[in-house]
Chain A
């Protein structure tokens, strides 16, 4: 089963390089995404066999993140099929600077997209920290051409920052891996496999293990977008095509989070929980505060969504750092945030296609101009700011409740006031865009939106809503087991 998950997107990537014909290439993209999703669903019914002597194995945490990735990729593949049909090959005019630019070849785009899925799948199934690192760096490399799809200066700048900052960050994670190996040296099988390290636990060399955790946290934290290491994130998310922003924000950040969770698991087994938790809480609160500052006064709606991602990865780190029921909440939050944020980025792509600007001041009357997108945009806003009955309310509430149970009133106060602050920052921006009348400059008779553009965000929105209303037994069981491995309930 794990082989199938890895092979389907890999073969799809190779095929989309070879197969001529636009139509077939898009078919391959959507069909491989659907096949990947089907295989992932089958793993929920019958667990997958470990491979390569346990290097590739799906534990509950991995399964959770893999499922999110697969759902998002399917939604994005469907959206991309419609998106690519509109992106014709001819030269286009840049919205902001008025310069002309071309797009990267569609072959490269489709191949990198499928390879991106393969790399993210490998991240979620890796039980060997070295392999995890290799997969993580691969995600950076195959997603860089995706960010540079629109070939103009700003996307090039974003791509360069993304490549350099994430590669350096990930290099630190490699150093963390080596330090971990030093911490384990002298013990019998000193390979970097997760289970072996957890079993060694207390006999690991503590100072080296601490150093290793710091480097792994900073390394994968860079990729995850924890402030102040997030500087590449707003640029990459705002300049890439919306479908890529959705994948980066919804799937890639989670993969990096998984890297941090794996190293945290090892530290827990060595009894270093009290060393790691304050660090995670600190990074979490700093990220939330940083995001709050930049959400206020933001003029570009895609950048606002990007900063909101910084906020939410902060909440995830905070939840894990708090421990107890909050670890459960944090994992649930990862799922909810991915679904909601991907939905919002896809909707932002729809708005961008009609209004041809990313400036919030120049967008108004979305509800009137493109009603379905408008309604979903409002729903997405309510979901992302944690209003019931959406899933994010449930997860944010679980984290807050757990803080009160542990008598951490100071942290809870900071957390809740930052959430409220961000709500007040985002509300006027979203509502002003949705309401009012459309600007006069907008042509009246632009073509109606295709079903491709709406069906994916709609599906993701429904899933967020359902997760808020009730948690099916298999999902909550998986979440409980994953949280238990992370020192939770």
Chain B
């Protein structure tokens, strides 16, 4: 058992459920930021020999990006487009929570089916990763606002990173930084796209983006 790591994983699960029930976009951004910090801390708690310089550097970079830069960029967008909350999502909040619970059960079952190799001993890590990935996908599909879809993408990315955290010391630093840089650029480019969508359509509801069919 690794208490700190388990606490982080439980926090991830709870924050996913929170996100499924939240309508205020500002609160969603803050939750995703906290989740990013938690994912950044995870590899530090997992390493058995104590974190080395490489891991410290990477975690610092990840926390700085997901905990400070992303929320700042997204909050700025939120202020500029003057929208507070997600109204009338495709799937309501109550239903979202029920579906989320179902997804959690499925993730637990999946995690049970796919046992990790001997070197990684943390039972919760696979189910949590799957659940976070599913929550992210759900947010992308079930919410209308382009901003929430970007948040969903970040949650999905966090879930994938939970997997990655289990293997942090096996990946070269250069690649890890490259991946983070790409995620950063993705959020940046999506942010610019949201500005343009808001200007062209006077709204960031993606169901307005329906001119192209067949």
Contacts and interface: CB of A to CB of B under 8 A. Distances in A.
Interface of A: 128, 130-131, 133-134, 137-138, 140-141, 144-145, 148, 151-154, 156-161, 163-164, 167-168, 171, 174-175, 178-179, 181-182, 185-186, 190-192, 205, 207-208, 211, 234-235, 238-239, 294, 298, 303
B108 interface: no
Contacts, number: 120
Given A137-B182, A160-B146, A185-B170, 6 more contacts: A154-B211, A156-B193, A164-B149, A168-B140, A182-B116, A234-B214
A158 to B, nearest CB: 6
A168 B153 contact: yes
22 contacts: A130-B178, A134-B179, A134-B181, A140-B186, A145-B189, A148-B196, A153-B211, A156-B193, A157-B210, A157-B211, A158-B212, A160-B197, A160-B209, A171-B160, A175-B160, A181-B170, A182-B163, A185-B167, A186-B118, A191-B172, A192-B175, A211-B114
A151 B160 CA distance: 34
Query: At the interface, is chain B mostly helix, strand, loop or mixed?
Result: helix
A75 to B, nearest CB: 27
B117 A186 contact: yes
B65 to A, nearest CB: 15
B186 A167 contact: yes
Interface string B193-214: 1001100110000100111101
A151 B196 contact: yes
Interface string B45-68: 000000000000000000000000
A177 to B, nearest CB: 9
B43 to A, nearest CB: 13
B153 A128 contact: no
Contacts of A190: 170
Contact of B120 (A151, A157, A185): A185
Contact of A144 (B114, B149, B178, B193): B193
A161 B209 contact: yes
Contacts of A211: 114
Interface in B109-128: 114, 116-120
Query: At the interface, is chain A mostly helix, strand, loop or mixed?
Result: helix
A141 B186 contact: yes
A168 B137 contact: yes
A244 to B, nearest CB: 16
A168 B151 CA distance: 12
B190 interface: yes
A134 B182 CA distance: 7
Contacts of B166: 182
Nearest to B206: A160
B7 interface: no
A167 B137 CA distance: 12
B175 A130 contact: yes
A260 to B, nearest CB: 19
A137 B120 CA distance: 29
A185 B119 contact: yes
